[in-house]
Amino acid sequence: MPEGNDIVRTELVAREPLFHRPEWGTGRADLEAMTAPDYWEVGASGRTYDREFVIGVLLERYARDEPDPWSADGFACRALGPGTYLVTYTLTQGERVTRRATVWERTSGGWRALYHQGTVVAP
């Protein structure tokens, strides 16, 4: 990875795993700020979800305030175009292991996610 991407990589790794970092906020305005208006994702099930659905599920999860133990490793960051980056990594949540990918864009207001996908790792 080119040296100029080291700062970008550090900034984006600090934001992942997406939606598991309460320090970036857990309210509707926080979630809207961290996602593009046309944000969408593909879940481990293969189903697609739009921004509004994802935000609704997250607000319910955050309201329950349950423990969310996780670990992430194997981070990679690749420039896709001007101000747009792909971050990939492996997320472990108990016995569940998924490979994750998020497409991020830098805006005048900061970083926001355009797309996210999680795929369960086959045993």
> SS3 of 3, please?
coil
- In this prediction, residue 1 carries a pLDDT of 40
Q: What is the pTM of this model?
A: 0.93
**For residue 80, which of 5, 10, 14, 11 has the smallest C-alpha distance?**
5
In whole angstroms, give the CA distance from residue 93 to residue 97. 6
For the chain, 123 residues long, give each residue's pLDDT as a single digit of tens.
444 578 999 999 999 999 999 999 999 999 999 999 999 999 988 999 999 999 999 999 999 988 889 999 999 999 999 999 999 999 999 999 999 999 999 999 999 999 999 999 987
> SS3 of 26, please?
coil
* 32 Cβ neighbours under 8 A, 6+ residues apart: 51, 55
Asked whether the beta carbons of 88 and 108 are under 8 A apart, the reply is no
